[in-house]
Structure 1
Amino acid sequence: MVSVPQDTVVARDRLLSLINELAVVRGRVTLSSGEEANYYIDLRRITLHHEASKLVGQVMLDLMDKAGFDGIQSVGGLTMGADPVATAIMHAAGDAGRGIDSFVVRKAQKSYGMGRQVEGPDVAGRKVIALEDTSTTGGSALTAVEALRKAGADVVAVAVIVDRNTGAGDRIEEEAGVPYLYAFGKDELDVD
């Protein structure tokens, strides 16, 4: 039985509530970029949460659709932040009767087995969107875009759940030459 997704506005509102409740952690932290912040957005608390992960899939699929990216065949990004996001989108698409695969991008190409950097169904010749849960500098997304292009994918955009408003989107658009999409901006979060 295919489940009918709840209204996207309701899903978006509930997901934002869960992000603010579960994922915004206050206190001094050092980000992966090396920068310091007085809060941390731990989106794995959302993407791996039983209720929120379904909402992530629905909201991100809607974001991609509203951006006009028809014919997306696969989504994913640098492991591990992107992995549950891609899986959530894959399941939301399946619930809607659509076939979107997911993939995982390793930080470096394997030196054994098939020697792949992009794991999952082959992305060569496919329209894909590179994902992240959130981005501070854009570095992870750019690594994923480079690996995907080497694997022959047609990368049409980068999408994140939360944009931290740190310039990552501008960097991605400039360096990768693709649109940068996000479901929520920093101004929508309870961080100040």
Structure 2
Amino acid sequence: MTSALPDVSDARARLLELIKELAVVRGRVTLSSGKEADYYIDLRRITLHHEASKLVGQVMLDLLDRAGHNDFQSAGGLTMGADPVGAAVMHAAADAGRAVDAFVVRKAQKSYGMGRQVEGPDVKGRKVIALEDTSTTGGSALTAVEALRNAGADVVAVAVIVDRDTGAKERIEKEADIPYLFAFGKDELGLD
């Protein structure tokens, strides 16, 4: 029995409006990749916003469901951009009556305590989604994918809120051999 997916078009439209209003900063900037751009997309202004955070969870969960990834058990990514995205997806899933955990991937494995690089409920043997707020080169997502695989997770996709169309999709799909999904492209934000 197939059930229709809920309509999230209003959530998607409102989230796009908030991203344009709050997260797109115009002006010459140097990105974490070292590349320069004429704009910056500061999605922490969205993922940590009282209204937008809930919309992020709804839109990202819908994106994953529509791509056929409705059976994943955990979602998260490299700290810190992915942290609130993972929490938003976890809460949206809970609101939909689904049990999805979140996790945080450290940039390096801890040298003390339990020595973990992936924090949260164990991901070993679980289907997981590697999340990012946005990606320029795909480096952060690839770091997360490697750490997750080393922890025994079955990484089924990488998903980001905004794709900058700077090669991250192609790199991730080639190097990690998994789908790269995004909720919004830079064209939807009016960026060239």
Same fold (TM over 0.5): yes
Deviating 4+ runs (over 2 angstroms): none
CA distance in structure 1 between the aligned counterparts of 2:153 and 2:107, rounded to whole angstroms: 17
Unaligned 5+ residue runs, structure 2?
A: 1-5
Asked if the contact 1:90/1:102 (under 8 Å) is kept, the reply is yes
Match of 1:178 in 2: 178
Matched, 1:94 2:94: yes
Aligned amino acid, residue 13 of structure 1: A
**TM-score calculated relative to the size of structure 2:** 0.96
Match of 2:85 in 1: 85
CA distance in structure 1 between the aligned counterparts of 2:70 and 2:162, rounded to whole angstroms: 22
Matches within 5 A, 1:85-164: 85-164=85-164
Match of 1:48 in 2: 48
Asked if the contact 1:24/1:190 (under 8 Å) is kept, the reply is no
* CA RMSD, Structure 1 to Structure 2 (Å): 0.9
CA distance in structure 2 between the aligned counterparts of 1:98 and 1:173, rounded to whole angstroms: 28
Report the count of equivalent residues: 187
Match of 2:11 in 1: 11
Deviations 1:93-123, CA, capped at 9 Å, x for gaps = 0001001000000000000000000000000
CA distance in structure 2 between the aligned counterparts of 1:7 and 1:139, rounded to whole angstroms: 33
Matched, 1:35 2:35: yes
Report how far residue 69 of structure 1 moved. 1.1
Aligned amino acid, residue 154 of structure 2: D
Report how far residue 70 of structure 1 moved. 2.9
Match of 1:189 in 2: 189
CA distance in structure 2 between the aligned counterparts of 1:146 and 1:110, rounded to whole angstroms: 15
Specify the SS of the correspondent of 1:159: strand
CA distance in structure 2 between the aligned counterparts of 1:46 and 1:18, rounded to whole angstroms: 7
Higher deviation after alignment, 6-15 or 34-43? 6-15
Report how far residue 71 of structure 1 moved. 1.5
Specify the SS of the correspondent of 2:102: strand
Asked if the contact 1:24/1:191 (under 8 Å) is kept, the reply is no
Match of 1:3 in 2: none
Match of 1:23 in 2: 23
